[in-house]
Amino acid sequence: MSLFLSILAAVALFALLYFVLKRPLPMAIIAGVVVLLGINIQWIKPALESVGTGLGTNTVLGIAAIMMLVLLFLKVPVFIAVLGGSLIYFLFNPGINQIIFGQKAVTGSESASLLAIPFFVCAGTFMNYAGVTSRIMTFCSAVTGRLPGGLAQVNVLLSTLMGGLSGSNLADAAMEAKMLVPEMEKQGFSKEFSSVVTAASAMITPLIPPGIAMILYGCIADVSIGKLFMSGITVGGTLCIAMMVLVHFISIKRGYKPIRNTKMTGKEFWDCLRPALLPLCLPIIIIGGIRLGVFTATEAGAVAILYSVVLGLVYRELTFKGILQACKETVCTTGGIMLIVSAASVFSWVLTKERIPQQLTEFIVSICPNKYAFLIAVNIFVLIVGMFIEGNATMIVLVPLLAPIAAQYGINEIQFAMIYIFNNAIGALSPPMGTLMFVTCSVTGCKTKTFIKEAVPFYILLFVVLMLFTFCPPVTTGIVQLTYGSV
Amino acid sequence: MKKKTWVKVLCNLDMIVASLALVILTFVTAVGVFKRYVLKDPILWQEEVSAFCQVWMIYLGASVGFRAGSHVAIEMLVDSLPEKAQKIIGYIIDMIVLFVLIFLCVKCQAYIEQVFGRSARPTPILRIPYTLIYGISPFGCVLMIVSYFVSKYAPEFTKSIELPEKVNPDEEVDA
């Protein structure tokens, strides 16, 4: 870019900051200088590179990693933090073609499989606007009405079923916190318990197909998304049943009442089931279609969008305004996720260039005696990382590092994927950075301290289920074996 | 009143184009399944249109995301600091975001110019120039910078795209 253009850009930004946004003069001037330097990076490049040569590649890499972590905690959008870390490497390392930075950023998020993410996000938001939720809820209360703690059971089952329609745990938690929790409190459930059940059950959504995390994992580690979806049925189902059992016992102990005591007649049940029938077909269409090879996971997403639009028209609840709003939400959400993917592909290139995955594999294999030791180490590690940083962002950096090691130990790729995704899901529920916890608490007005206290039985349950997945591979891979014939 | 709608459309042009790309993507993909599986006559140009719409949707959507506050960021540490420190850190962050985005913009532009610019190579079937497909990424970076500063220092401009179910993890309840 010519000098003239870069000066023009710098002046334009200066004008925007100083005259339009009324920022202080020094800040506007510094911003202009930053623009000038950023565009004409060749001015400072020799100086930076000589510093980099003095430090050595490993030090530069270390600084890059620290920079990324610091930025992550500084309220910088995640993709900027990841790019910022990589940028250090590209700036200080002599002999690296900086165009690769641009190449990876542009092409990193461009793949047909990743397109499934916007599609399923979009399908989920359309479902919300199509009036599906209330119909599914009626069905859930018909199924679980006679169990102790009726509405809490509805809460768990609703999350599981909605997981098959959308895939976002945050949206699920926000929706249930708004719809179900006030109702639960009216019926005598404590606020803390209602919030905990809502947040904990929202954790099931990403494990049920079509979960965004599964699509992302499949793309990164090159695992069949169809098989991951299939495995998600048992994983999500197990968790759902386990939670319902736990809720059952807590409700008996505290005397939370069922919704009704009389048995439903067949006709009444049918009246509750009928409106929910069409939406409940969608997961079957998605999984069946992928398994039979009618469409790929990405195309399944597009089909799901059309299906939800048709549902909305059938129910006469989807307005033009609703469609526009759903498009807006999808565009914002996917723009965010996909740029993180792009940024992470820049960072992964750096890692690959420096042969970090190979070195890490050698190191881990030398200290971990067997695959169970490795799995436990991974569980602890991913859990702790997940407690602090959003799951999808870390996945893109960590999975390319961990998956090859798991393969080295002969761990089944599907099982490892599900363990990883499950750990990430737990991280969203636990302090200090549990997004699910914050979302639910901010809607219901529950205090985080009491929330955590109330959530202890659920944490124990999650731990038990995690151990089950870790030490009992058939739970995760059995259904894949049955339907695909091999894993 | 009419002028106001105009301004609104112009200010949210990135969002409108991105939504349009999403709609086109959905239809092309769904019709593609139908044509391939039922009519046994696949759409040959499907991939080209998908790539086009995907890149446009991502880079424009990222800019919208800045205004809608939907980019994932970890707020907890900074928000617990005293106000003065928050302000200083805020300025530092501004400069970092600015530098990263400018660098990204320049390198994307350099990549596109080097690979596609000189040969002016279009896609094989529809003859869409690759520079048009990928050209949105440096442009998107510029939009992101503008969106970032406007949303941070003049949030009243961005009201129109506020998400209804915007969930705010930093709204601490323990006060």
Other CB atoms within a 10 A radius of the CB of residue A313 amount to 11
pLDDT at B76: 65
pLDDT tens for A228-251 read: 988 988 899 999 999 999 999 998
The shortest CB-CB distance from A17 to any of B70, B76, B149 is to B149
**So what's the ipTM on this one?**
0.82
Q: How far is A113 from chain B (nearest CA, A)?
A: 11
Q: Measuring CA to CA, which residue among A339, A446, A424, A342 is closest to residue A379?
A: A424
Locus of tokens 């549990």: A434
- When pLDDT is cut at 50, 70 and 90, the band that residue B159 belongs to is low
Q: How far is A85 from chain B (nearest CA, A)?
A: 10
Q: Which has the higher per-residue pLDDT, A248 or B69?
A: A248
- What residue type is assigned to position A256 of the chain? Y
Its pTM stands at 0.83
Tell if the CB–CB gap between A438 and B58 is shorter than 8 Å: no
Instruction: Kindly report, residue by residue over B35-49, the tens digit of the pLDDT.
Output: 888 887 888 888 888
**In chain A, which residues have their Cβ closer than 8 Å to the Cβ of B50?**
112, 115
User: What proportion of chain A, given as a percentage, has pLDDT over 90?
Assistant: 6
When pLDDT is averaged across residues A127-153 and rounded to a whole number, the result is: 82
CB-based contact A20 B78, cutoff 8 Å = no
Residue keyed to tokens 């980019």: B71
Record: contact B64-A295, CB cut-off 8 A: no
Dihedral of the CA atoms A354, A360, A361, A366 (nearest 10)?
A: 140
Q: Which of A13, A79, A102 sits opposite B111 (nearest CB)?
A: A102
Q: Which of A48, A42, A85 is nearest to A354 (CA)?
A: A85
Q: What is the mean pLDDT of chain A?
A: 84
pLDDT digits (tens, 9 = 90+) for A19-55: 777 778 888 888 888 888 888 777 777 888 888 888 8
Those residues with Cβ within 8 angstroms of residue A107's Cβ, 6 or more apart along the chain or in another chain: A345
How many whole angstroms separate alpha carbon B107 and alpha carbon A376? 41
Cβ separation A83–B150 shorter than 8 A: no
C-alpha pair distances (Å), A405 with each of A213, A391, A460:
20, 20, 28
User: What's the confidence (pLDDT) of residue A162?
Assistant: 83
Contact A439 B95 (CB under 8 A): no
| Residue predicted with more confidence, A26 or B7 | A26
- Tens-place pLDDT, residues A70-111: 888 787 888 888 888 888 888 888 778 888 888 888 887 777
Interface size between A and B, measured as CB pairs under 8 A:
246
Mean pLDDT, chain B, rounded, equals: 77
The three-point CA angle A247-A251-A253 to 5° equals 120
Q: What's the rounded Cα separation, in Å, for the pair A85 and A57? A: 14
Q: Smallest CA–CA separation between A401 and chain B, in Å?
A: 23
Q: Cβ contact (<8 Å) for A435 and B76?
A: no
Asked whether the beta carbons of residue A110 and residue B63 sit closer than 8 angstroms, the reply is: no
pLDDT of residue A9: 83
- Alpha-carbon span A112 to A120, nearest angstrom: 14
Per-residue tokens: B65:
């995301």
| pLDDT tens string A254-279 | 888 787 777 777 888 888 888 888 88
pLDDT at B3: 53
Least confident of A411-415, A428-432, A461-465, B61-65: A428-432
